[in-house]
Structure 1
Amino acid sequence: MKSTIAEVYKHVGEEVKIGAWLANKRSSGKIAFLQLRDGTGFIQGVVVKNEVAEEVFQAAKSVTQESSLYVTGVVQKDERSPLGYELTVKGIEIIQLASDYPITPKEHGTEFLMDNRHLWLRSKRQHAVMKIRNEIIRSTYEFFNNAGFVKVDPPILTGSAPEGTTELFHTQYFDEEAYLSQSGQLYLEAAAMALGKVFSFGPTFRAEKSKTRRHLIEFWMIEPEMAFANHEESLVVQEEYVSHIVQSVLKNCQLELKTLGRDTAKLEKITAPFPRITYDDALKLLHEKGFNDVEWGDDFGAPHETAIAESYDKPVFIIHYPTELKPFYMQPHPERDDVVLCADMIAPEGYGEIIGGSERIYDYELLKKRIEEHNLPEEAYNWYLELRKYGSVPHSGFGLGLERTVAWISGVEHVRETIPFPRLLNRLYP
Structure 2
Amino acid sequence: MNVLVVGNGGREHALAWTLLRAPNVKQVICTPGNGGTATLKGCHNEPVAVDDFEGIRRIAQKYNVSLVVVGPEVPLSLGITDYLQQYNLTVFGPNQAGAQLEASKAWAKALMQQANIPTAQTAVFTDAAAAKAYIQTLPIVIKADCLAAGKGVTIADRPEIAYAAIDAIFAGEFGRENQTVVIEEYLTGQEVSVLALTDGQTIRPLIPAQDHKAIGEGDTGPNTGGMGAYAPTPILTDSLSQRIQTEILEPTLATLQKRGIDYRGVIYAGLMITPDGEPKVLEFNCRFGDPETQAVLALLDTPLDEVILACCQQRLAEFPPLSWKPGVAVCVVLASAGYPGSYQKGYAITGVEQATAKGATVFHAGTKLSGDQVITDGGRVLGVTAVGSTFEAAIALTYEAVDCIGFEGMYCRRDIGFRLAQG
Give me the TM-score of the superposition, normalised by structure 1.
0.24
Structure number with larger C-alpha Rg: 1
The structure with higher relative contact order (CA 8 Å, sep 6+) is 2
